């Protein structure tokens, strides 16, 4: 790496290339891959002839009866660690800290910030989105890009705001995963399963009256289902409280005609809030 180029600049340049659609890295000089494979195979055969493998006699007795222990399931180990760390968190700051230092999720290695939450933790309504994008990764706050700006306008239309100090008019916002996936891809099933204990504990500690589940990924994480166009507007239950799936603002930016359905869902949410004590 050039001495004048730090890690963040190099990463930003690489992200820019990916956003332009670059899929291959090409060098200045051509490389004959077939020749490289043939040379490597010849080297392996020469090494094998020079030092033939020693012959081992089969073990007998108890040693022969004891098979080697299977390697631990890395995914199961990570989920178990997440469940223990989440249970140990007694409040939102300690959960934020536990999530920040959680070592098992590979998304953490490519992200700048752990995007935990935004808004009023005492809010009656908690929004769960997909995952951080570039703007969220840079600022450390969820839903701050174009989709986040539209989300603020949408909920402002029913007088709910992440800035409000009044829990009755406030929003509390988080995501299924706290780190930005590479190239803005969707989180994988394994990543969602690994981080789900933190998300459920987050909901438990914030204790909202209603959950808004935004987009397919959030529905997958909390409802175990996809198909947001069919799920939207239909009440479900998550962690013992009512939850309403809604279209993601990013989808509305691409499909403005769907804003009519989004407005209907907002009115449904407003009516449910008014019906609760």
Q: What are the extents of the domains in the chain? A: 74-275
Q: Specify the pLDDT at position 51.
A: 56
Which of 24-38, 98-112, 216-230 has the lowest average pLDDT?
A: 24-38
Residue 49 has pLDDT above 50, yes or no: yes
Residue 48 has pLDDT above 70, yes or no: no
**pLDDT exceeding 90 applies to what percent of the chain?**
71
Question: Is the pLDDT higher at 13 or at 259?
Answer: 259
Q: Which CATH number fits domain 74-275: 2.60.420.10, 3.50.50.60, 3.40.470.10, 3.30.830.10?
A: 3.40.470.10
Residue 50 has pLDDT above 80, yes or no: no
Which of 56-70, 126-140, 178-192 has the lowest average pLDDT?
A: 56-70
Residue 37 has pLDDT above 50, yes or no: yes
Question: Is the pLDDT higher at 2 or at 146?
Answer: 146
Q: What is this structure's pTM?
A: 0.74
pLDDT confidence tier of residue 94, bands split at 50, 70 and 90:
very high
> What is the mean pLDDT of the segment spanning 222-249?
96
Instruction: Looking at the chain, list the stretches that DSSP marks H as alpha helix, in order from N- to C-terminal side.
Output: 7-19, 33-50, 62-65, 74-88, 92-100, 134-139, 146-156, 189-206, 215-223, 228-231, 249-254, 259-275
Residue 89 has pLDDT above 80, yes or no: yes
């Amino acid at each position: 790496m050039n001495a004048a180029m730090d890690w963040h600049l190099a990463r930003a340049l690489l992200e820019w290339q990916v956003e332009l659609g670059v899929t291959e890295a090409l060098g200045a000089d051509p490389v004959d891959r077939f020749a490289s494979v043939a040379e490597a195979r010849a080297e392996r055969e020469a090494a094998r002839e020079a030092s033939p493998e020693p012959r081992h006699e089969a073990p007998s007795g108890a040693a022969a009866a004891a098979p080697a222990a299977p390697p631990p399931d890395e995914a199961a180990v990570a989920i178990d660690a997440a469940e223990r760390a989440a249970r140990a968190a007694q409040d939102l700051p300690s959960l934020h800290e536990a999530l920040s230092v959680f070592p098992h999720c590979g998304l953490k290695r490519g992200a700048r910030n752990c995007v935990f939450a935004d808004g009023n933790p005492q809010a009656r309504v908690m929004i769960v989105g997909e995952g951080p994008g570039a703007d969220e990764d840079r600022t450390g706050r969820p839903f701050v890009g174009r989709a986040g700006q539209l989300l603020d306008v949408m909920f402002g239309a029913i007088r709910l705001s992440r800035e409000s100090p009044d829990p009755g008019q406030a929003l509390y916002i988080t995501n299924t995963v706290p780190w930005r996936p590479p190239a803005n891809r969707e989180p994988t099933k394994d990543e969602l399963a690994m981080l789900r204990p933190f998300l459920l504990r987050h909901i438990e500690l914030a204790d909202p009256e209603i959950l808004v589940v935004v987009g397919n990924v959030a529905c997958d994480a909390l409802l175990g289902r996809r198909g947001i166009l069919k799920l939207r507007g239909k009440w479900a239950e998550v962690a013992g409280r009512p939850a309403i799936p809604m279209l993601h603002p990013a989808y509305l930016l691409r499909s403005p005609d769907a804003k009519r359905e989004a407005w209907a869902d907002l009115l449904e949410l407003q009516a449910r809030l008014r019906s609760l004590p």
